[in-house]
Amino acid sequence: MANDSTDELTAEETPEAEPIYETLTYLDKTEQNQRLAVEELINTETSYVQNLQLCISDIRNHLQKKQLPEIDLEGLFSNIDDVLHISRRFLKGLEAAMNQEHEQLYRISTLFQELKEEMENVYKIYCGDYDQALLLLEIYRNEPRLQKEIVDTLTVTVPHIGASDLSFFLVMPVQRVTKYPLLLQKILENTPVSDSAYGALQAAAAAMTDVNANINEYKRRKEVANKYNKPGYLTLRERLARLNPHSIAKKTTRLSRLFMQEAGIVPKTKDKEFDTLEEKFQDLSSAVADLKENVASFLSNTEAFLSYKPHENELGTEGGTIQQYCQLEGKLHSTVFAEFRRRLENLVYLPLVNLSETLKGPQKLIKKRLDKQLDYEEFEEKKNETGSVTYEEEAAMNTYLAINSLLVSELPVFNQVALQWLGHILRTFVAFLRDLASQVLQEAEREAAQLPHRHLPAPDFGKMVKDSLSQAEAQLYSYCKKFETVMPSSVAEQPLSPAEERKVHLLMSKHGPEKLYQVTSNTSGSKNMDLVLQRGQIVALLHDRDTKGNTNRWLVDSGGPRGYVSPGKLQPYHLVQNPKPRMQVSVPGGGGGEQMHQPYNLPQAPSPALHFRAQALHVVAGYPFAARSSHEVSLQAGEPVTVLEPHDKKGCTEWSLVEVNGQKGYVPSSYLVTVPIPEPPGWGSPAWPYPAPQT
């Protein structure tokens, strides 16, 4: 009985031992696959880093030594140095994790999550530039000489690889970043759910999947931006050829919606983050344009300065140190000034031109964003009403979102880089000016050391200087007298036409004589709202800065259109009372010399007092207006207002910036009317008293 029971017990236990054995076998196999997956990650990363090092240290450096300007190495290799740097750090972390047997998987997962952001930023740039690199390679393949140079480089530097084309190396970073989620997923599949590192591996795999998704989204946005940012200028014929019923309807819809937004009929989408970035970009663009214009003017003046060579002409002086002066002047013209002009053009002006050209791309994209925003608002409104939009309309909405997202993410970086670029140009300009002053001073001191009177006592030297200055003053006075006979008359000596005189009277009655200015040279507007004025024209100052606070652009009234002009081309226009009944203009700043006056041939009057028939006017609200936002101000019919600017920030004249009861804001320009100022009781309109007719 005992044996029977023992046999039965053995028979009962034997079937239970088989699944335990199978479980142990499964665990061993899973652990082995996990170890192989980890080894694959590390081994492939090691090989990847080695190939990147070959690509940089051997292939690229070899092409650089060949000095082939036709090959754009930066366009081909993009930021591959950053890719190598992050890959080396990642490989070093993997190797360190291998030494921690029990926490190996957890350390690998943590490493991926720690480097996620850096990997995304680095690979995003490389993958975004990869398509452009392939286009460059295709161009070089069509050039037998360049293709031969590339193939020879591969043969010399990496013969053991057997690569026949550079794309073999360039595609590696693109393939590697897409493989990380697959390698992590393979490790995760061979890791038990009960393992302490399972959750960390899941998070690492999800992180690298997000990295690839963000890279793909960045590439899509960049493709959309490149589509609307292609270089080239379309002629009028080409623009007209592009017109069709669909494009005309689309532009009409945009224009209609823009008008409705400006009129306040439909709301406008507000994006404070983008508006702030755009304002900074526009300020930067304006600064670059102004500096470029000023440096161009400086270069032009330098060229004019170098064109005059008084040391090569007879100066009308005898003896003294004139010979040394001519030597110094000749040396400065031929070496110091010429070198300064060359450096200024190559290292200041040309970089400014390049920076200005670089700004055109974002500027074009910002403009296209506005067009797409109008489409987006139109289709979104339709979607909210009907619940659906067509495929083309959905694509248009996605295009706006892509452009907006790209600008919001890229404009901060672009603004920062462009600002650094501009700062470097300015510092270079200042350094050149310092070098110029130092070189001129050094040459002057060298010549001064050879002067015969360098050892004279102070009193004798002072007497010699006074005598020399007196002699020079007499010669200068003689020269000035001769110049006065041949030089054109100054601005103040140019007589005004009767129409200009009437315009001066009107401007003075509207703004007061202290606001009048005269244009000293012709102006040509280069920006929106800039005026084109002629030399000698009279204007009235409205505001000593523009809407952005720039004091280099004054808002003036020319008696017709209002706009901006540089204050450097204006001088105060003074009215001087004369015993005879006529107006005179004095040129300011004539210190010590005779002031020049130019009479206006106004009607003769028996009294010396100045009288004007021009009637004073002021602006009032013609209709009541209720403000709808903080940017607007309310009006009551008949309420007097002060017009600060006859347009909004974009130059649109449908809205005016006004001040009412101490509050500033925008109102519709059509709500404003100009009326005469009522005269006080007992006062008559001032007029020119004409003499009684002779009988």
CATH number, domain containing residue 535 = 2.30.30.40
d(CA 190, CA 548): 63
Q: Range of 120's domain?
A: 18-226
Question: Which run of H or of E encompasses 556?
Answer: strand 554-557
Residue 646 sits at the vertex; the CA angle it makes with 640 and 648, to the nearest 5 degrees, is 115
What digits encode the pLDDT tens for the residues 350-370?
999 999 988 888 888 888 888
- Name the band, by pLDDT with cuts 50, 70 and 90, for residue 575: low
Residues 196 and 280 in one domain: no
Q: Strand locations in 185-304, DSSP E?
A: none
Q: How many residues does the chain have?
A: 695
Residues 292 and 373 in one domain: yes
Residues 374 and 281 in one domain: yes
* pLDDT at position 618: 74
Tell me how many domains the chain contains.
5
Residues 201 and 322 in one domain: no
Q: What's the average model confidence in pLDDT over 516-545?
A: 84
CATH value at residue 445:
1.20.1270.60
Q: What's the average model confidence in pLDDT over 111-133?
A: 91
Residues 373 and 472 in one domain: no
The radius of gyration of the chain's CA atoms, rounded to the nearest angstrom, is 40
d(CA 475, CA 479): 6
Residues 347 and 412 in one domain: yes
Q: What's the average model confidence in pLDDT over 296-304?
A: 87
* 572, 602, 632 - which closes a domain: 572
Residues 85 and 204 in one domain: yes
Q: What's the average model confidence in pLDDT over 419-435?
A: 93
Between these two residues, 431 and 690, which has the higher pLDDT value?
431
- Name the band, by pLDDT with cuts 50, 70 and 90, for residue 491: low
* pLDDT at position 583: 38
CA distances from 582 to 572, 574, 597, 599, 614 (A): 19, 13, 11, 6, 16
Q: Quick check: 163 pLDDT over 70?
A: yes
* pLDDT at position 320: 57
Residues 404 and 475 in one domain: no
In a domain, 294, yes or no: yes
CA distances from 120 to 114, 221, 329, 687 (A): 11, 15, 60, 78
Residues 556 and 624 in one domain: no
pTM above 0.75, yes or no: no
Parallel, antiparallel or unpaired: strands 655-660 and 663-668: antiparallel
Burial class (CB in 10 A: 0-12, 13-18, 19+), 120: buried
Question: Which run of H or of E encompasses 658?
Answer: strand 655-660
d(CA 684, CA 84): 88
Burial class (CB in 10 A: 0-12, 13-18, 19+), 656: buried
In a domain, 232, yes or no: no
In a domain, 97, yes or no: yes
In a domain, 328, yes or no: yes
Around 306, how many Cα atoms within 13 Å sit in the side-chain half-sphere?
A: 18
Q: What is the DSSP letter of 489?
A: P
Q: Quick check: 605 pLDDT over 60?
A: no
* 226, 255, 277 - which closes a domain: 226
Q: Which residues contact 554 (CB under 8 A, 6 or more apart)?
A: 541, 542, 543, 544, 545, 564, 565, 566, 567, 570
What digits encode the pLDDT tens for the residues 47-99?
999 988 888 888 888 888 888 888 888 889 989 999 999 999 999 999 988 88
* pLDDT at position 604: 40
Residues 532 and 659 in one domain: no
Mean pLDDT of the chain: 79
Nearest in space to 658 (alpha carbons), one of 649, 667, 650, 671: 667
d(CA 393, CA 404): 17
* b/e sequence 138-176, b meaning 16+ C-beta within 10 Å: eebeeeeebbebbeebbeebbeeeebeebbebbebbbeb
Residues 114 and 208 in one domain: yes
Nearest in space to 299 (alpha carbons), one of 347, 334, 360: 347
* pLDDT at position 175: 92
* pLDDT at position 203: 93
* pLDDT at position 581: 40
Residues 348 and 411 in one domain: yes
In a domain, 164, yes or no: yes
Question: Which run of H or of E encompasses 172?
Answer: helix 172-189
* pLDDT at position 435: 92
Q: What's the average model confidence in pLDDT over 319-336?
A: 75
* pLDDT at position 27: 52
Between these two residues, 307 and 555, which has the higher pLDDT value?
555
Q: Which residues contact 45 (CB under 8 A, 6 or more apart)?
A: 87, 90, 91, 94
Between these two residues, 224 and 562, which has the higher pLDDT value?
562
- Name the band, by pLDDT with cuts 50, 70 and 90, for residue 652: confident
